[in-house]
Amino acid sequence: MPLLKALIALFCLLPGLSLAAGMPMTKDLQAAYNKNGLNNQGQGKVVLLLVSQPNCSYCVQITEEILKPMLISGNYKQTTVFSELEINTGGQIVDFNGEKVDATQFARRYNAWATPTLLFLDGQGREVSNKMVGINTLELYGYYVDRSLEKGFIKINP
């Protein structure tokens, strides 16, 4: 009986621990894609890149209500690489070509100056679905993200 109580307590804690993990912050896009960019069937995954900045309440809302649940669900493990790019902080990243670049300059390549912006990219950094800028209707946002991911995955893997 004590073992059963301990297991129940552990299972109650696990969801909280999972939610504490945020979106993976981008430091090296090339290395991240080389490591996680192909699924078990050898198909290329879509890089879902959240362009955010400090003190962006909408970025937090999208992360907490849409992206984290998607990431935690495990349903996107074979199709999507989740990552976050924080701009306007002076930080640098390594792009898909292996070049070190200012994060804000990288976002400007995609005209992603407003936050939040979701970019849907392939392993070479090409857009495979239209970017999503801002939040229109949170109730439908997850649907639009799913649709963009499906479109991008099909484009990468015709």
Give the count of beta carbons closer than 10 Å to the beta carbon of residue 44. Answer: 20
Q: Determine the pLDDT at residue 6.
A: 36
Superfamily, domain 22-156: Glutaredoxin (3.40.30.10)
- At residue 4, does pLDDT exceed 70? no
Q: What whole-number distance in Å separates Cα of residue 50 and Cα of residue 31?
A: 18
Residue 58's contacts (CB-CB under 8 Å, 6 or more residues apart) are 115, 116, 134, 135
> CA-to-CA distance for 63 and 142, rounded, in angstroms?
11
At 51 the pLDDT is: 97
| Percentage above 70 pLDDT, the chain | 86
Give Cα separations from 86 to 49, 50, 69 (angstroms). 10, 8, 20
Residues in the chain: 158
What pLDDT is recorded for position 21? 52
d(CA 35, CA 27): 13
Domain boundaries, the chain: 22-156
> Over pLDDT 90: what percentage of the chain?
80
Instruction: Provide the pLDDT confidence category of residue 2 given band limits of 50, 70 and 90.
Output: very low
pLDDT 10s digits, 129-153: 999 999 988 899 999 999 999 999 9
Model pLDDT for residues 56-80, shown as the tens digit of each residue: 999 999 999 999 999 999 999 999 9
Mean pLDDT of all residues in 28-35: 93
Between 113 and 12, residue with greater pLDDT: 113
